[in-house]
Amino acid sequence: MSQTSSYESFVTQLVNIESQKMLRMEVQVRDEKESKSAVGTVSKAISDFENIIKELETPSNRSFEPFKTTSSDDSVVQVNSASGLDNESAFNITVERLAKNDTALSETMTGAGYELAAQGDGSVTLTIGDKTETINVVTTKDDGSGGTVNKTNQEILESFETEIESLFGDEASASVFNLDGENIQFSLKSLETGYDNRIQFSGATGVLAGVTGNMTHLTPQAELDAQFIIDGVTFNRAENIVDDAIEGLSFTMKKATGVAEQMTVERDTEAAKSNLQDFINAYNEMNETIRERTFINPETGNKGPLQGVRSVRNLTINLRQTAILSLGGVAEGEVASFADMGITFENNGKMVIDDSSKLDDILNQNPEQIANFFTNENSPVAMMKARAESYTEADGILSAIESGLDQKIDRLDRRIASERKYLEEYEAEQRRIFNELDLILEEGQAQFDAVYNFMSGY
């Protein structure tokens, strides 16, 4: 091995020894970043828990008193929602007539004919719903040489169609249909159902008097509204989706049969239980997330990235202690705690439904008591939410922890940069020293060789 190679290896070893300090700081940075990532994961789990509470504590959601709806024949009437009802109910409904769009059709005529042009330019006032406009149509066109010629029947009707689409694009649809390659027919259809959205022509002159005066309606305008009977009371509505006949109930009529059907509204205890299970799942997910990041194994020494952060480690303990409290001001025998509804905690902090029968009985008979437990501002649930929010709010506990980690990472990054610069200079200095030493050795060897050669000459 050459002297240079030996020195190179020696320099490398010296630099490696000197760089241990920087390597330890890089490990620290990795650990701090892992801790920061863990804080983000914990924050999300806590926020998810908060959001579930917000949903359940909102009275309008009726999370523990939901209703399920059924129709004896969904092809006739479909129940959309019963969220506004307070009690179980059943309603008999007979759909006599569905709400329809008004459709007006002209007489058929030959598309290439000129009968309409003979009636001269025309205008008509059209009203659909709350909108009224006057439409004008001319019956002649430029012949290409400075004169005019009559438009064909099809061209006139297409001009009428264009004007309607321009003025009533949101209210009506107009079309010119080619029936058999020779004959055509004009169609005008309102886009909204009901009598109030019917097609009304007035003040027609010229060609438009001829077109609109003979138009027929597919449905008599007096029968454009839906008609139905609920428990003996007759209703008329402009639409087939009805949400104002019975307060709190929305339904859609799909077919007029004249036969009585039944809309049923009853408590949905399974949905209520599912909502409560969502709360339990969110709590357990948060509990498990925190435990996984704050554990320590005394035998191996392994620990989670947040094991040393007491405030995070203690959160689930504090929440559990809060959860076992009782709501004050509740009558004897009513739900005042999670235990009263059959919910308890296992040794590892997991929340479970320990007595499903007890919970089912309350959901079936007194769901309002569970609703009160979740919506009362003095309940353990409200206190759990407040404690959780103290961690996730903008200037909360987790924000402070994350800010502290950012500062540590920033300081370490600056120290690592400084140490890296020092190592570069240190390596250069060692190379300079060994290069000088190598030069001295080379000069000494040369002198030795010269003396040796001189002495060998005698």
DSSP 153-196: HHHHHHHHHHHHHHHSTTTEEEEEEESSSSEEEEEEEEEEESGG
pTM: 0.68
Residue 378: pLDDT band by 50, 70, 90 thresholds?
very high
Q: Find all residues with CB under 8 Å of 156, minimum gap 6, and list them.
A: 116, 117, 137, 139, 207, 211
Query: Pairing relation of β-strands 140-142 and 77-81?
Result: unpaired
User: Whose CA is closest to 315, among 379, 377, 397, 376?
Assistant: 397
316 and 287 Cβ atoms separated by less than 8 Å? yes
Q: What is the mean pLDDT of the chain?
A: 92
Number of continuous H segments (helices) and E segments (strands) in the chain: 11, 20
Q: Output the pLDDT for position 173.
A: 97
Looking up tokens 């320099």 gives: 11
Give the gyration radius of the chain's Cα atoms: 43
Residue 422 has pLDDT above 90, yes or no: no
Q: How many CB atoms lie within 10 A of CB 341?
A: 23
Q: Find all residues with CB under 8 Å of 93, minimum gap 6, and list them.
A: 77, 228, 229, 230, 251, 260, 261, 262, 263
Residue 3: pLDDT band by 50, 70, 90 thresholds?
low
Q: Which two tokens stand for residue 74?
A: 């969904």
Helix (H, G, I), strand (E, B), or coil: what is residue 92? Answer: strand
Looking up tokens 């620990």 gives: 303
CATH class given for the domain over 1-66+269-458 = mainly alpha
**For the chain, what percent of residues have pLDDT higher than 70?**
98
User: Domain map of the chain by residue range?
Assistant: 1-66+269-458, 67-99+225-267, 101-223
Backbone dihedral angles phi then psi of residue 450, each to the nearest 5 degrees: -65, -45
Query: Looking at residues 216-237, what average pLDDT do you find?
Result: 98
Residue 4: pLDDT band by 50, 70, 90 thresholds?
low
228 and 141 Cβ atoms separated by less than 8 Å? no
Query: Looking at residues 308-318, what average pLDDT do you find?
Result: 91
**What tens digit of pLDDT does each residue of 186-197 get?**
999 999 999 999
